[in-house]
Every structure is written in C-alpha cells, then in structure tokens.
Structure 1
Amino acid sequence: MHTILRIAFSTLPALLLAACAHRVALAPEAPMPPQGDYLIGAGDVVNINVWRNPEVSVSVPVRPDGKITTPLVEDLQAAGKTSTQLARDVEKALEKYIQQPMATVIVTSFVGPYDQQIRVIGQAAKPQALAYRQGMSLMDVLIAVGGVTDFAAGNKANIIRTVNGTRQSLPVRLQDLLRDGDISANVAVLPGDVLVIPESWF
C-alpha cells in the first residue's frame, strides 16, 4: 500500500506539469509585434522636403497603386518603403534636374500596407480595416471600432492569423475583456490579423 502511494505521489507533479502545458498550448498566445520601421502604404500622405528647393517640396497622397507624383518626378513607387528609402529614391530621381538634392520624407497620415492592416469583421460596432501600430493590442482594436454590438458572441470571437503561410485561428475573449475588465484577455495583435466577431443566436 505504501509503495503504491509513493508511486502515485512521485508521478503527480509530472502529471500536473503535463496538464498545465496542454492548457497553455490551447490558450491564445500573445506574441510581441515585430520591431521595425514603418512601411508606407497606399492612402498614406507623405510630406517631401527638398533642402533649398521649395518648388519641389510638397505633401502628396500615395495613390492606390502605391505610387506618388511630385514636381519633376512621376510615378515613383512609395508603398512598401520606409520614409528613408523613399527619400533616397526622390533624391535619385531629382539628380537629373537638381545638383546633389537632399530630401527628407515624413509620413503625416497613416494607413499602412494593405497586408499589414488589421481587419475587423462581424458584430463590431464599426467593422473596418485599421492601420497597424507597433505594440497594438486587442483592446486598442476594440476601441478603434467602437466595441461590439449587443448581438455579438464576444467569447466566441477568433483572430485569423497567417504564420509562415499557414492560417491559424486563435480564440479570444472579448466579453471577458469588455464587460468584466479581464486584462488577461487583452492579447497582442499582429500585422495582417483578422478579428472575426460572430453573432450570438440566443
């Protein structure tokens, strides 16, 4: 009898650890968003300043095709580049007209690349696509879309995320976060995430 109890107690910690590991694997993870410079996207507005050349210093929108047009420069690709990369491209394009141009680019209105936007569909108060911001969380997304409707099944919502070409569905607890203030439900979001909020049927 003592031998049986000794074996049972010796294996208990291992069983508990296995059970905990299984629960953690099933829970939605909250990975930190990748660090990096902001990439310009279609719909952004960029302010281009060319030193000592105010006639070619302008503020222009990035067209839906991802390009910009400025004085002396037509159809310059902007989407998918950092502001520094775009500044170097502007300088290169202006070299045929201006001796040693020095340009700076500042993004003044943000939308971001299409594939990095956060999309919210279903029973959000204002379903929409949002520009991703570094460090963005589920709570930030919900604030931006005005919360959820009265018909939302908040705790049955999911984040659809593509990782290494594989689509994953991560359950999230919107009701716990919004109504109960459970901060543990406030997971991080990543560029390209799609938040799906289903309707409650009862």
Structure 2
Amino acid sequence: MLVSKRKQAAWLKAVGLSMAVALVSGCSTSSSLPSVSDEQRLAQPDYEYVIGAGDSLQIFVWGNEELSGSVPVRPDGKITTRLVEDLEASGKTSTELAREIESVYSRYIKNPVVTVMVNGFVATPEQQVRIVGAGVTPLSIPYRKHMTLLDLMVAVGGLNEFADGDKAVLVRSFDGEQTSYGLKLDSLLRDGDIGANLALMPGDIVIIPEAWF
C-alpha cells in the first residue's frame, strides 16, 4: 500500500523529534514531574537575570548625558560605548556591568555613577526556555520568575493541529546531567487539567512530537 507524501513527511518529522528527545535526554528518564500548587510555585527560589547576546541596554551616566544612551549586546556578547570598545556584557547582571563601566569610565571622568537598564530581553541560553516541535510557534523565550508550563504554551500559541501533546517531553539539566520527563499537554490545554501544569526552570526544553498516522 502506498503511503502519501504528507504521511511520509509527518512520519519522518516524528522520527526526527524522537531522535532529538533521545539525544538531549541521554540515559536518564522519568515518567513525569509532579504538578505544583500556586503556593509551591511562588515559593520557588529567586533567580537573577543576566544579560545575554541580543539584549538591548540603556546606559545612564549621571551628570554626563553625552555618555548616556542605548546600546545592543552584540552576538559575541560585547558592547561598545562612546568611551569603550568591546566590553564584555553577556553573563553579567545589570549591576555588575554598571560597576565595570564605572571602573573603566573612572579613567576619563571623576567619580562616574552608572546605571544599566535592560530594555529588550533575550537572555543567555541557560536562562531561556525553549519549545520545539509541534507548537504553533516554536521559539526560545527568556525565563521569568514563577513561569509555568501553561505560561509557555500561551506564549507559543498552544499546540498545532498535528501535535501529540500527551507524548511531549520536558528536558531539564541538574548539575550538568539531563533528565527527561513526560508531559500531558493535551490534558492541560484541551481538557483543562490544571494538575498537568508545572513550574518551569531556566534552561528547560519542551519537545512536542506530532501524532503518528
């Protein structure tokens, strides 16, 4: 029996996603993560945002408006200001970067006071949450405090019509080791099962396969 090109493409895509799950998850697997209550989610430990390549920064140098302005963080993680070229920004907090700019500017002006604000957020890969596969809009977004699986699915527009949401996998790293967990996205999004929701962590990857035809 001949198989349609559409079914062949879907089968190949599903195989590719299954291989991706195996590659990123390694040998450590688990059936599912426990759902969390709102109290548990809000009690998660704080995390501090660090600047990433692609972020947009607003730099204020108090009393020196000519040195203030907006700068992008280049793909190499560095910025160029009006006094300094190739200053490393990626991986630092805005406060750490402000203190470093003050140290550099002190060679040119007396007692500089600098404030750095992040306007456009991209984040480092370690602080992003990524979704691949059969979401409506697969993408990477910066993790934000108290972020949940439902928040992520809203951000990507939910599942596409071919998604097998209850076969989705979350890949999470602990001390350099990756572990995969089964997810129930169909139950969460289509059946309203809030028990299938869970708290996300920076660096999480959600892989959604398509259904096999």
Mark yes or no: TM-score above 0.5.
yes
How far, CA to CA, are the matches of 2:91 and 2:206 in structure 1? 23
Cα gap change, 1:149/1:129 in structure 2, threshold over 3 Å: closer, same or farther? same
Where structure 2 has 5 or more consecutive residues not aligned to the other structure, the ranges are 1-29
Larger Rg: 1
Greater relative CO (CA pairs within 8 A, separation 6+): 2
Please report how far the alpha carbon of residue 34 of structure 1 lies from its aligned counterpart in structure 2 after TM superposition.
Answer: 4.2
Rounded to whole Å, the distance in 2 between the matches of 1:27 and 1:161 is 12
Match in the other structure for 1:44: 55
Percent of residue pairs bearing the same amino acid type = 50
Q: Which amino acid aligns with 2:75?
A: P
Letter of the 2:117 partner, please give it.
I
DSSP-derived class of the 1:73 partner: coil
- Counterpart residue number, 1:99: 110
Q: In the alignment, which of 140, 154, 159 is matched to residue 170 of structure 2?
A: 159
2:211 is aligned to 200
Q: Quote the residue 2:27 is aligned against.
A: none
What is the match of residue 29 of structure 1? 34
Matched with 1:4 is: none
Moved over 3 A (4+): 29-34
- 8 A contact 1:69–1:76 mirrored in 2: yes
Find the counterpart in structure 1 of residue 135 from structure 2.
124
Shift in Å, 1:114: 1.8
1:104 CA displacement: 0.5
Give the root-mean-square deviation of aligned CA atoms: 1.5
Mapped to 1, the partners of 2:66 and 2:113 lie a distance apart of 14
Distance 1:125 1:148 in 2: 5
Instruction: Give the Cα–Cα distance (whole angstroms) in 1 for the partners of residues 31 and 135 of structure 2.
Output: 25
Query: How many pairs were matched up?
Result: 178
Q: What runs of 5+ residues in structure 1 fail to find an aligned partner?
A: 1-24
Deviation per CA, 1:126-154: give whole Å up to 9, x if none.
11111111111101111111111111110
Equivalent position amino acid for 1:177 in 2: L
